[in-house]
Amino acid sequence: MKDMNELEKLLTSLVGELKPAPLEPVDSVSTDPIYFDYTEKGNTRWLNLMADALKNAKTFEIHCWNEETEEIALALKYGKLKESAWTYGKIITGEVTPEFIEMILSQPKPTDIEAANKMTPFFNVFLDDHFQSCHWGTEIYPGE
C-alpha cells in the first residue's frame, strides 16, 4: 500500500508539471470547397468570400450562358470577349480593378433561383488561377 501511495504522489506531481506542446502554425486559408444550398437565404457569405479573394486578385474570367445577355453586357464593361470553343456561352476576361470589384460586390442576390440558389448572376467567376465561384456561386473553390 505504501508503494501505491508513493506512486500516486509521484504521478500527481508529474501531471502538475505537464505543459501543452507548442502548436505548429496553421494556414488559416481553407481550400475545401464550399457549397451553398437552399438553406442559404442571402448572399452575404458569398460576398464576404468574394471580397476576400478579390483583395489580391489581378485577373478575372467570367463565364455566361448565351441567353444571359444582360450579364454578358455587364461583364463586357469590365473586360473583353475571349476566343473560346464553348458554343453555349461567352467568356469575358479582364483585369481586376476597383471598378470591377465594386460591380461584383454590388450585385444583388438573384431572384430566379428555381434551378439553383444563385448567389451571383454570373455562371462562373474565376480569379487568377486560384479562386473559383461556379454555378452562379453555389460552389466555391477557394484555391490556395
Among 48, 73, 51, which Cα is nearest to 62's?
73
Q: What is the DSSP string of 56-93?
A: S--EEEEEEETT-HHHHHHHHTTSEEPP-S-TTEEEEE
Please write the tens of the pLDDT for every residue from 44-79.
999 999 999 999 999 999 999 999 999 999 999 999
Confidence bin at 118 (pLDDT 50/70/90): very high
Q: Where are the beta strands (DSSP E) in 2-138?
A: 34-35, 59-65, 80-81, 89-95, 124-127, 131-134
Q: Tens digits of per-residue pLDDT, 32-52? A: 999 999 999 999 999 999 999
Interacting residues of 117 by C-beta distance below 8 A, sequence separation 6+: 36, 37, 38, 40, 138
Residue owning grid cell 456561386: 137
Cα separation, 88 vs 90, whole angstroms: 7
Q: What is the mean pLDDT of the chain?
A: 90
Q: Residue 76 corresponds to which cell in the numbers above?
A: 463586357
**Residue 16, pLDDT above cutoff 80:** no
Q: What is the pLDDT of residues 76-102, one digit of tens each?
A: 999 999 999 999 999 999 999 999 999
Can you name the residues that pair with 103 across neighbouring β-strands? Answer: none
CA-closest candidate to residue 66, choices 47, 81, 44, 45? 81
Residue pair 104/50 in contact by the 8 Å Cβ criterion: yes
Domain residue spans of the chain:
27-141
CB neighbourhood size of 48 (10 A):
11
DSSP 135: T
For residue 3, the model assigns a pLDDT of: 76
- Whether 27 shows a pLDDT value over 60: the answer reads no
Q: What is the pTM of this model?
A: 0.78
Q: How confident is the model at residue 111 (pLDDT cuts 50, 70, 90)?
A: very high
